[in-house]
A and B are shown apart, each in its own frame.
Chain A
C-alpha cells in the first residue's frame, strides 16, 4: 500500500483560473486518491482505492472483490469490479456445466462466449487464475465497469 499522487504526469501545467465564459460545462475537480495499492487486472496495472477506514485491514496479497474501485489516475475514470467474468470457452464445452463445476452463476452464453457471475466475497483475482488454468477455457476477463458512456 502506498500513497498515490495522481496528477503526476510530467510537464503538465495548471492554467490560472479561467472565466466560465467559454461555455464549457463545469465538471468535478480531479480527486487525488490518498491511499491505494497496485493491482494487475486483465494484464493492466491499476491502483486499487483503499478507503481510509480500511487501512488497517489490508493484506499482503492484493485481492479484488466485487465493489472494489480501481483507477489509473486523475485523468482516467475510476472503474468498479462487478463480479462479472467474461470467458471464451474451448469449442464444444458447455457453459452451464463449466459454471456449475466452478460454483459460478451463468448469466448468459452465446456460442463459445459466456458470462459468469461470482458470489460476493469471492476474490476475483484468484478466480481469474483458476479460470485461466482450466483447460475448458481459452480466455478470461474481469469486468471493470466505469459508466464511460455519455449521452451525445
Chain B
C-alpha cells in the first residue's frame, strides 16, 4: 500500500505538480531545510545534501497545513508581510499596552516572530521569497514575549476565543535558570499552568487536542539567565566545558513539562548545532542551522524594509542575501535566522502538515507518529565522556551523554536528537494510513521513595535508590521529582534506569545550575522536575532506579557571569567534600 501510494505520488510529480512546487518561490532553492541539495544558503560553506525535513512529496501534493491553525507565540508577527498575509487568519492579538498598532495586529518590534512565522507557513508558489513547511496553513500571531502578562499567556496558549481551535502552538522561547526550581504541584500557579496546558492538549479543537511545540534552548556553550550570560569557567581560555552542555534542556521546568514537545536543533550537515540545548526530554530534532555566515542558517521572512529586522542595509557583507541585494532588494527576507527557535517552527510546520493530511488524528497521535517516523541523524555520534579524578586519586571516565542507544522496546534515542530528525514525508505517509496511532492515554499517580541515600564525593559508584512500580502500562514518557541535598549541583549527574535496564541521563554534570554560589540558602534540588523520553515503548512495571553520581572532587569549580565586556564576574563554587544525600524522589509514567 505504501509502495503504491509512493508510485502515485511520483507519477503526480512527473506530470507537472513538481514544476509548480519547485519553481515559484525565488528563494526556495536556498531553503536547505526543505530540500537540502548541498546549497550554501548565502553562507560561505555548503551543507550536506539530504539533511533536511524530507518534504518533497508533501510539497508536491500541496496540502501542507490546509485547515490547521497554528499560533505563533513570540515577539509578534508582521501579518501584512507579502509572503505571510495570505495565510494569516483572524484572531491575532497585540498585547503591547502602549502600541500604536491595532488590537488585532501583533506588532513585532524584534523580527524574531516574523522569521518564525515564515518557517511555519510562508505562502508557497506565489512568486514571493520563501516557502513554509506548511505553506497552506492558517497563522495567528501573539506578541506575548514583548509583554508577558498572565492574561496574554492565557489567550495565546489556548484559552482565548480565537485560540480554542488552534491545533499547534509554537513556542520559540524559553528561560534558563541558574537555580534549581521547585516544581511543587501544590503551587497554585504551577498547578494552574499545567492544568491549562493539559486541558488544551487533550480537549481543544473539539476533542482532538493541540500540540505545544517548544524550543529546547540555545545553551550548549553558554546561556542567558536574566540579565547576564552564564559561561563555563574556561570560556575565555578557549575551553568548552569539557564538551558538556551548560544548559541541559531539563534544567528548565517548562521543558520537563510533558505537554511541551521539545525540539533540538541540527545543522545542514545533520549534526547538533553548536548552541542547541539537549537532554533526555528532547522529543525530536529539526533543522535550524548555524549563523548564516560561515555555515548555513535558515532562509525565511524578515521584517519588511532595509531598516528593520535581521536584514538591513547595514548587514551588507554578512552573507550573500542581506543588505538590499538583487535577490531581495526590499530586505524582506533573512538568511541568518537560527536557534532552537527555528527547530521548533520547522517541527510545528511539519505537525500542521501531518494534521492536515488526516484531520481525524488526535494531537497525541501526531506526537507519537512524529517520533515513530524520525530518521537517525549523525548516526556515528559517540556522545560525551567526562574524565575526572575520583576521591581515591584515580582518573576515571563517566559517560555523560550516551551515543545512539536502542532501548528494550527497540526504540533509538540520543539526548542530542531525541528520537531523531523529523521526516515529514514518512510521517505524512503513515498519517494517511491510520486514524488511531495510540490507545487511550494513562497518566499514573506519582510513586515515591523517601529513603535517605548518600552520594559520595567524586565517585563513579554514586548513590542509588530504587522503587517498585506496579502499573502494567507501556511508557511514552517518564517524569521524576527529585529532592537531593548537595553543596555543588553542577558536580552531579542524575540517571534513571528502567526495569529493562535502559539508562537515561536526566541531568548532565558540569551544567549551569550554579546559583548556590550566589544564594547559599539553596541546599540542592527541591522537587526538581525532570523528564525522559528514552524509555518510549518499554513496560513500566518493575523496579526503577534513580542514581546520582558526583563527578568532581576538585576544590573549585567556577563560572563566569557576563553582563558586558566591562562587567564580567568570575564566580567560584567551592567543594566541601561532604557527600550529598538523596532525600526523596518520585516518578510517574505517561503512557498507555
Taking Cβ atoms with an 8 Å cutoff, the residues of A that contact B are 7, 9, 11-15, 17-20, 22, 24-30, 72-77, 82, 84, 86-88, 107-108, 110-111, 113, 115, 138-141, 143, 145-152
Contact = CB atoms under 8 A, between A and B. Distances in A.
B67 to A, nearest CB: 27
Interface in B112-170: 112-113, 145, 147-151, 154, 159
A82 B224 contact: no
Contacts of B239: none
B388 interface: no
B151 A152 contact: no
Given A18-B236, A26-B564, A26-B565, A141 B188 contact: yes
Contact of B569 (A13, A84, A110, A111): A13
Nearest to A72: B519
B8 interface: no
Nearest to A109: B192
Contacts of A151: 74-75, 110, 112-113, 145, 172-173, 339, 341
B469 interface: no
Contact of B215 (A77, A115, A141, A152): A152
Contacts of B5: none
B518 interface: yes
Contacts of B74: 151
A48 to B, nearest CB: 18
Contacts of A19: 565
A27 B150 contact: no
Contacts of B340: 152
Contacts of A25: 229
Contact of B518 (A9, A15, A28, A82): A9
Contacts of B147: 147
Query: Per DSSP, are chain A's interface residues mostly helix, strand or loop, or mixed?
Result: loop
A15 B560 CA distance: 9
Contacts of A12: 517-518, 561, 569-571
A108 B151 CA distance: 9
A17 B224 contact: no
A36 B114 CA distance: 40
B54 interface: no
Contacts of A138: 186
Contacts of A72: 519
A88 B564 contact: no
A9 B378 CA distance: 43
Given A24-B229, A87-B188, A152 B195 contact: no
A38 B174 CA distance: 29
Contacts of A18: 236, 565, 568
Contacts of A26: 564-565
Interface in B330-353: 339-341, 344
A152 B229 contact: no
A82 B561 CA distance: 29
Interface of B: 74-75, 110, 112-113, 145, 147-151, 154, 159, 172-175, 178, 186-189, 191-192, 195-196, 199, 215, 217-218, 222, 224, 226-229, 235-236, 339-341, 344, 517-519, 560-572
Nearest to B566: A17
Contacts of B222: 24
Contacts of A14: 567-570
B150 A15 contact: no
Nearest to A139: B188
B42 to A, nearest CB: 20
A27 B148 contact: no
20 contacts: A7-B569, A13-B569, A24-B229, A26-B564, A27-B228, A74-B227, A75-B228, A76-B226, A77-B227, A82-B150, A84-B150, A87-B188, A88-B188, A115-B192, A139-B187, A139-B191, A141-B189, A149-B148, A150-B145, A152-B217
Given A29-B563, A30-B227, A75-B226, A88 B191 contact: yes
A88 B254 CA distance: 20
A111 B224 contact: no
A110 B192 contact: yes
Contacts of B570: 12-15
Given A141-B189, A148-B226, A152-B173, A30 B563 contact: yes
Contacts of B148: 145, 147-149
Contacts of B566: 17, 29
A61 to B, nearest CB: 25
Contacts of B571: 9, 11-12
A113 B191 contact: yes
Contacts of A145: 148-150
Given A14-B569, A82-B150, A149-B173, A28 B188 contact: no
A70 to B, nearest CB: 14
B567 A139 contact: no
Nearest to B177: A148
Given A24-B229, A27-B563, A107-B150, A15 B173 contact: no
A69 B561 CA distance: 23
A132 B235 CA distance: 47
Contact of A15 (B159, B189, B226, B569): B569
